[in-house]
Amino acid sequence: MHNFNNIEGAVIMGNIIPFDQITSGKHFNGERLKIARTWRGYSAIELAEKIGVNRQTISMYENGKLDNPEFSTIQKFSETLEFPVKFFLEDIKIDVEKSATYFRSLMTTNKKYRIEQEDKIKFIAVIYNMMNEYLDFESLNLPQIPRNTSPQKAAEILRDYWKIGNKPIDDIVYLVESNGLIVTDFATSTGDVDAFSHKIVCGEKETYLIGYSQNKRMAARIHFDIAHELGHILLHNWNEDLENIDKEDFKDIEQEAHSFASAFLLPEKEFSDDVRPYATNLAYYAELKKRWKVSIAAMIRRAKDLGIISNDDYSKLMRNMQKQGIRKVEPLDNELRTAEPSLLRQAIKILFQENVFTPSEFLEELSTEYGLTIYPNDIESILSLKEGTLNEEKQTKVSISVKPRE
């Protein structure tokens, strides 16, 4: 817990800043209160009880109807929600273009959990914008897919464009990052959010962020989730109002992304040749899983869609999986691994190694130039950095020499 009860000032990024400097010319940002509250998983009622006010007061702060709380109240928000005082008194200083965010489970996930992730996405976009000023990231390398292109054809176009032929994809995280997209794994307060994708614009440069849940560590699941989001990126409208989309229309969009993922990960000719010899043998699919890094259930479905097995064969295989208790946790799920996201980690590492920033300077620029003051552990979390990456131990070194031996 961070302490903000210092009478003379508050601790911001490791420094004691007088309160008059923090608040000078600044106004309370109610939107930031809502972001902090949802990030920490508090309801408005729960936060009100912690702070000692009523729920309506919290709502009025968040909606801007009350915009001048006592500083002691801001301190309580800071202590309870573990965000710096300055976080509640600032706003993002750059334009962050708003686009749709595609969630795998949009229709079943509580809206507050989606908002929680969207807020984090916005902060990732700000940090990426900042790093883009100093680093030459790979340009986005995606083909233009004509409208009304089928998911199968789009998958073939992408494989051809990325020059990966029909071979299995061993490391989809590296493949995607090396073609100019950002991948991050994320912590969430619910298990309902599997994966998402979001468009990020930096001036004239654009890219896409793909996130997947830290709750899903199986390589087969990660591969399919990322491929699914690639389907959204290539096939769908990024100006779509997904909050108000018709349920059946969204089902169609999800099915297209699902079909794309299947075709991209399991290209027709190569996979057909592999699966055909023992296509009705469940144990054989476990062997294929080692090669393709795709779930047994997804491979069985792909075999049916390609006409290699009948509907009856498909139903029998799925019933057999259910009987063997391997529908939720399949063989090899805890053995097969894929690489973790590395692009953002490498970017931070280069900035520090090349002495562009120290960790404290990085945090300070993010705060003063971009209007984003949050603690190192939260930045490490949303950027998939190793714990402690942004902590800087300041030690006074005393020079000690070795006595010459007589």
Q: Which two tokens stand for residue 86?
A: 């300055």
| E strands present in 203-316 | 205-213
- Which residue stretches of the chain have pLDDT < 70? 1-26, 98-99, 104-111, 188-193, 241-244, 392-406
Q: Are 9 and 79 in contact (CB under 8 A)?
A: no
Q: Are 312 and 147 in contact (CB under 8 A)?
A: no
The pTM for the full model equals 0.85
Q: How many CB atoms lie within 10 A of CB 129?
A: 19
Q: How far apart are CA 156 and CA 189, in angstroms?
A: 37
Query: Please, what's the b/e burial string for 366-396 (b: 16 or more CB within 10 A of its CB; e: otherwise)?
Result: bbeebbbbbbbebbbbbbbbeeebbebeeee
> What is the CATH code for 9-89?
1.10.260.40
- Residue 7: its pLDDT value, please? 33
- Residue 384: its pLDDT value, please? 86
* SS3 of residue 239 by DSSP: coil
Q: Minimal CA–CA distance to 233: which of 181, 309, 178, 188?
A: 181
Q: Which two tokens stand for residue 39?
A: 């990030």
Sheet strands side by side (includes 101-103): 101-103, 195-202, 205-213, 182-186
Residue type at position 29: N
- Residue 195: its pLDDT value, please? 81
- Residue 357: its pLDDT value, please? 95
Q: Minimal CA–CA distance to 198: which of 227, 225, 238, 158?
A: 238
Q: Which two tokens stand for residue 369?
A: 């130039």
DSSP classification of residue 139: P
- Residue 169: its pLDDT value, please? 97
- Residue 181: its pLDDT value, please? 96
Distance, C-alpha 139 to centroid of its chain? 20
Q: Are 30 and 62 in contact (CB under 8 A)?
A: yes
- Residue 201: its pLDDT value, please? 83
Stretch (H or E) spanning 122: helix 111-132
Q: How many CB atoms lie within 10 A of CB 247?
A: 8
User: Alpha helix (H) ranges present in 306-393?
Assistant: 311-324, 343-353, 359-370, 376-382
- Residue 43: its pLDDT value, please? 92
Residues spanned by CATH 1.10.260.40 within the chain?
A: 9-89
Q: Which two tokens stand for residue 68?
A: 């001048």
- Residue 24: its pLDDT value, please? 47
